[in-house]
Chain A
Amino acid sequence: GAVVSQHPSWVICKSGTSVKIECRSLDFQATTMFWYRQFPKQSLMLMATSNEGSKATYEQGVEKDKFLINHASLTLSTLTVTSAHPEDSSFYICSARQGANIQYFGAGTRLSVL
């Protein structure tokens, strides 16, 4: 199947700093990518849909100024957690859709904010 690379896999930062997470589709072009958040032992919650060349579409309750998404090319979307606080600590996962149905997921980024 297709490959989606997510980097970094783990990041620790101080409260108040910003953290950028990259999501790349390695062997296909993705006009649409997705960002999910997952708390321990829970399911994935969609945060936003990242659209190449246009603004991201955020889910209800997700602060767009807090979670900045940029999808500047057909193979790269970035999620920046701005002014991170301990409550932002979570597992963030990106995915890219190839074709009509199947999504391919990155390995996830574990964010710990001290």
Chain B
Amino acid sequence: SQQGEEDPQALSIQEGENATMNCSYKTSINNLQWYRQNSGRGLVHLILIRSNEREKHSGRLRVTLDTSKKSSSLLITASRAADTASYFCASYTGGGNKLTFGTGTQLKVEL
């Protein structure tokens, strides 16, 4: 089962614009992570935000976390064509042993 629902399912923007993806999750978490997947490839860890943090930055990435709403958002600023990929939120469930993924957002950045 999926831990998180993400929206939008797909997002198409122009290079230079910002991209925002949202994730809602079901169970309590210690932290929430975001991963990126290029088409037909494995996943790459982008950023982790702990449950006691509200916002975190890493380069052009900004993640927010609202534990009261069980939601998180990932903002990619000044997007580039190379940012085209699928983005997944994920958190540990099942007693902290299983990393469960959201449904994902497919981002396309056009030149």
Interface of B (DSSP majority class): strand
In the complex, are the beta carbons of A106 and B98 less than 8 A apart?
no
Instruction: Tell me the bound Cα distance from A1 to B48 in angstroms.
Output: 14
**Which chain B residue has the least Cβ–Cβ distance from A41?**
B106
Instruction: Tell me the bound Cα distance from A3 to B97 in angstroms.
Output: 20
Known A-B contacts: A43-B101, A44-B43, A97-B99. Give 11 more (CB < 8 A).
A4-B42, A6-B42, A34-B98, A43-B102, A44-B88, A46-B100, A95-B99, A101-B92, A103-B45, A103-B99, A108-B42
In the complex, are the beta carbons of A101 and B100 less than 8 A apart?
no
In the complex, are the beta carbons of A106 and B42 less than 8 A apart?
yes
Contacts of A49 in B (CB 8 A): 97-98
How many Å from the CB of A41 to the closest CB on chain B?
7
Q: A105 interface residue, CB < 8 Å from B? A: yes
Measuring CB to CB, which residues of chain A are less than 8 angstroms from any residue of chain B? 1, 4, 6, 32, 34, 41-44, 46, 49, 91, 93, 95, 97, 101-108, 110
How many Å from the CB of B71 to the closest CB on chain A?
17
Contacts of A43 in B (CB 8 A): 2, 88, 101-104
**Which chain B residue has the least Cβ–Cβ distance from A109?**
B42
In the complex, are the beta carbons of A105 and B43 less than 8 A apart?
yes
In the complex, are the beta carbons of B97 and A107 less than 8 A apart?
no
Knowing A101-B31, A110-B40 touch, does A44 contact B101 (C-beta < 8 A)? yes
Q: How large is the interface on B (under 10, 10 to 19, 20 to 34, 35 or more residues)?
A: 20 to 34
Measuring CB to CB, which residues of chain B are less than 8 angstroms from any residue of chain A? 2, 31, 33, 35, 40-45, 48, 88, 92, 97-104, 106
Query: Can you list 24 A-B contacts (CB < 8 A)?
Result: A4-B42, A6-B42, A34-B98, A34-B99, A41-B106, A42-B103, A43-B2, A43-B101, A44-B43, A44-B101, A49-B97, A49-B98, A93-B43, A95-B42, A101-B33, A101-B92, A102-B33, A102-B45, A102-B48, A104-B45, A105-B35, A105-B43, A105-B44, A108-B40
Instruction: Tell me the bound Cα distance from A27 to B44 in angstroms.
Output: 16
Considering residues B42, B48, B98, B99, which has the most beta carbons from chain A within 10 angstroms of its beta carbon?
B42
How many Å from the CB of A50 to the closest CB on chain B?
12
**Which chain B residue has the least Cβ–Cβ distance from A104?**
B45
